[in-house]
Each structure stands twice: as C-alpha cells, then as structure tokens.
Structure 1
Amino acid sequence: MDFNEISSDNNDDISLDMSDGSSVFDEQDGVGIELGTRPYQFEPEADSDEELVDEDDIQPSEDERLGNTDWCTCEQCVAMPNAEECVCCQEIPEIRCVTEEDHRHCITQHNGFSPVCLHPSVLRTAYHSYRQQYAELPETNG
C-alpha cells in the first residue's frame, strides 16, 4: 500500500488546518469562539469588596499637615512651613524597615543618624559628591 492510497482513504477523517489558532472560529449557528492565547488567564481575580488600599498608605491632604503634627507617628516631627516638608520618617518604607529592625520609633534615634546625617564633615563630603555626580544643584527658595 502506498501513501496515496492511505491519504485518500483517510481524507474524510483528517483536517489539515494550518491556521495559527489566533483567529475566530465560526460555529455553524453563527456564534464565534475566540481561539489563541488569553493574557492573565490564570491570574487570581480581586474580589469587589477586597480592600485594595492599605490604611497605613492613606495620607492626609497637604492642608491638614500645615501648622500641626497630627500626621506624625514617630512623635519626633515638628511643624514645618510647607506641606512638602511635612513627612514623618515612618511614612517612608525603607526608613520604617530600619527603625523596626533597631526597635526605634524614629530614625533620629538610630545610632547612625547623628554621625552620618548631622556631622559637618560628612555633610560636606556628601555635598561635593552630589555636585560631582549631578553638576548643578537645583535652585532653592531660601
């Protein structure tokens, strides 16, 4: 038996569809079925009542921060002249990790804060390093 005999015998059973599978297949009743990949097919779906925002991430508006320290959670913040400066160390995740590891409430209580952030020689070196890397400093309002 040669190949032509086999292929002609099985012609009714074999379909040689060479499509890539990404087209729409039309059923006999006219309803299309989409074939191919479906992105996010196996990703879990969020419940509609699921809380998407962590309560700790909710921050007061700028006006609520001026003239008080109610927004402070470390109990070391002071009232600042503009809302941009009214930031508690506990609102910054990287700093919060350091204070939690060291069992401190505020970054200013950390052993490395004073020698690294307040020593004039260290600040001068950081200033020159910044200038070397970024060339010009942004203009200040003060």
Structure 2
Amino acid sequence: MAVSRPRAVIPYTFDPESDPETEDTVASETPPQQRLLQDASEWCTCGNCMTMPTEGENVCCKETLKVIRRMNELPDTPTCMTYHPGLEPNCLNPYTLQNMNNIYRADYGPLRGRTIHEYVCNIQIRGMFKS
C-alpha cells in the first residue's frame, strides 16, 4: 500500500485578487505624508475634515471608494459622510456597538493587543461599510 505524502499548503490560493474598482482609497489623493504639514482645508473635499495626529487618520471621506458608494446610494448625496442617515444608528449608537462587539468577539476572540480606541473604530467601520 502506498503511503501518501502530506500536501504542501500554498498560501493565498483562495484569496481574491485585487480589483482596482474595489480599492478603498482613490489613487489621486494627496500623499498622506504631506498632510500633517497642511491645513485640513487644503486636502479636504467634504468641508468637515480636521487635521488628525497621525498620517493614516488624515483622510477625507470623499477619498474612500466604499464611502463614496455608500453616499451615492441615497437620492440626495450628502456632502460628507457625517451627514449620512446611517452613520448614527450604525456607528455611534452604543447598543449597536455592543452588539457588533459581541459578534466580533464570537468570530475572532478578544482584542489581542489592540487598544479600545482601535477596536471600536474597526467595529464601526465594519458595520457601516460591510458590503
């Protein structure tokens, strides 16, 4: 009887390939390393952005394709994501956040080294822009 050898695991075999249409950030944005030195009015297109402490946080809602798509679903497209009617019930409501927290912990376990701020932001974004 022949002994079968274990098959090699090939990473990323079943992961979907990148699609330019589904990328999160618009390619024409100002390089983020310059934004800490600029006033938010220089790179913000929605009119509500503020300069944040880190480069990664200095992003306008009009630069993220998932956000743009979500805003374009409405008959009257809001000028900023903060005016979207789904923002408060999905991202700011404490009961919704607790429910999303329970779902996340059931699926992925505890925080694993994340700060509570990073965790809550991640939960909020997943809830609002899940396709």
TM-score with structure 2 length normalisation?
0.57
Match of 1:77 among 49, 62, 74: 49
Alignment of 1:120 onto 2:97: no
- The equivalences for 1:1-142 within 5 A come to 57-66=27-36, 68-69=39-40, 70-102=42-74, 103-140=77-114
The structure with the largest alpha-carbon Rg is 1
Residue 138 (structure 1) shift: 4.4
Alignment-mate amino acid for residue 128 of structure 1: N
| RMSD over equivalenced CA pairs, Å | 2.0
Structure 1 Cα separation of the partners of residues 91 and 85 of structure 2: 11
Structure 2 Cα separation of the partners of residues 139 and 109 of structure 1: 33
Count the aligned residue pairs: 87
Relative to total residues, which structure has the larger strand share, 1 or 2?
Answer: 1
Relative to total residues, which structure has the larger helix share, 1 or 2?
Answer: 2
Unaligned runs of 5+ residues in structure 2 are: 1-25, 118-131
Name the structure, 1 or 2, with higher relative contact order (CA <8 Å, separation 6+): 2
Q: Once the two structures are superposed, what CA deviation does each residue of 1:72-121 show, in whole Å capped at 9, x if it has no partner?
A: 21111111110111121111112102222321111110111111110111
Unaligned runs of 5+ residues in structure 1 are: 1-55
